[in-house]
């Protein structure tokens, strides 16, 4: 079954369903094979036609801008958001009296796992939520800015990169790679420093960090790590899981690039209540 994609006004097809079961972990790809963004997916509830129109609007404008720059826009496609069954409603850290939030947390995880199972994730893939858009630029395309940011600022060991994480980076994360004037980190790994301790009692200080999954870049040879992490039950928030012991247990290297590449639309409320 082919998955329909768009390239401006023309039509192309992303490759057919990938078989992901019973395969050994893939070999690490050279950077040259994960340096170009291959596609964009955005996750959208069927009932949120307003958000779908918003996403299709800026993606269409980006395609026209790419054409004006003599570039070809990467294929993009809408992913119909999944809804969990009652048996799947097992959430870590979510109050039992808030089933709506748990439903949203699990639905988002299942939607991402669906992409991994049923859609093309070769090379480098950007997965977005349906209320974010690129910041404006009159000189470079969004795809080009994302590619440059990863190539210029993220180490080769990355497995997943998030664009413009929200929230304060915990002080006890490993040292940031880049810090802007004023001390705010702009590029950092979302991992607790194993040497960080609280002097008073000698215990590691754990601070909660989520950061959002509004714009996430995957690489083909690390999909198995993300799948393993996001399949763990009880389900953790999909973003929060990226900075937990669970992420370390699967060997996942997660980074944030906070350089103003994407921004939230103020027109919509989140479909996952806090």
Instruction: Work out the pLDDT band at 32, boundaries 50, 70, 90.
Output: confident
pLDDT of residue 22: 57
Report pLDDT digits (tens) over 113-129.
999 999 999 999 999 99
Confidence of residue 262 (pLDDT cuts 50, 70, 90): very high
Answer whether residue 3 shows pLDDT above 60. no
What integer best gives the mean pLDDT of the chain? 86
What's the pLDDT at 19? 40
Higher local confidence (pLDDT), 193 or 161? 161
The better pLDDT of the pair 245, 12 is held by 245
Domain boundaries, the chain: 3-13+36-264
3-state SS string for 34-71: HCCEEEEEEEECCCCHHHHHHHHHHHHHHHHHHHHCCC
**Is 203 a residue whose pLDDT tops 90?**
no
The token pair at 151 is 């190539």
pLDDT tens digits, one per residue of 13-28? 343 334 444 567 788 8
Cα separation of 154 and 271, whole Å? Answer: 31
Sequence-distant (≥ 6) Cβ neighbours of residue 124 within 8 angstroms? 34, 35, 36, 37, 38, 217, 218, 219, 220
Per-residue pLDDT at 49 exceeds 70: yes
CATH architecture of 3-13+36-264: Alpha-Beta Complex (3.90)
Confidence of residue 240 (pLDDT cuts 50, 70, 90): very high
């Amino acid at each position: 079954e082919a998955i329909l994609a768009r390239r401006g006004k023309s039509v192309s097809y992303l490759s057919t369903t990938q078989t992901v079961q019973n395969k050994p972990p893939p070999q690490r790809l050279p950077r040259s094979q994960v340096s170009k963004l291959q596609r964009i997916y955005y996750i959208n509830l069927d009932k949120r036609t307003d958000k779908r129109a918003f996403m299709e609007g800026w993606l269409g404008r980006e395609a026209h801008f790419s054409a004006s720059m003599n570039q070809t826009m990467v294929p993009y496609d809408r992913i119909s958001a999944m809804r969990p069954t009652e048996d799947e409603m097992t959430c870590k850290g979510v109050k039992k009296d808030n089933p709506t939030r748990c439903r949203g947390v699990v639905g988002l995880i299942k939607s991402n796992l669906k992409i991994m199972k049923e859609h093309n994730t070769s090379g480098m893939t950007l997965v977005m939520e349906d209320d974010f858009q690129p910041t404006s630029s009159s000189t470079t395309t969004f795809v080009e800015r994302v590619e440059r940011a990863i190539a210029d600022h993220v180490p080769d060991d990355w497995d997943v990169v998030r664009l413009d994480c929200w929230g304060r980076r915990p002080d006890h994360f490993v040292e940031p790679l880049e810090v802007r004037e004023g001390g705010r980190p702009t590029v950092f790994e979302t991992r607790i420093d194993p040497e960080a301790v609280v002097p008073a009692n000698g215990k590691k200080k754990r601070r909660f960090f989520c950061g959002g999954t509004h714009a996430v870049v995957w690489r083909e040879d690390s999909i198995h790590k993300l799948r393993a992490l996001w399949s763990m039950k009880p389900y953790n928030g999909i973003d929060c899981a990226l900075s937990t012991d669970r992420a370390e247990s699967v060997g996942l290297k997660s980074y944030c690039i906070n350089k103003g590449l994407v921004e939230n639309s103020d027109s919509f409320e989140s479909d996952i209540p806090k």
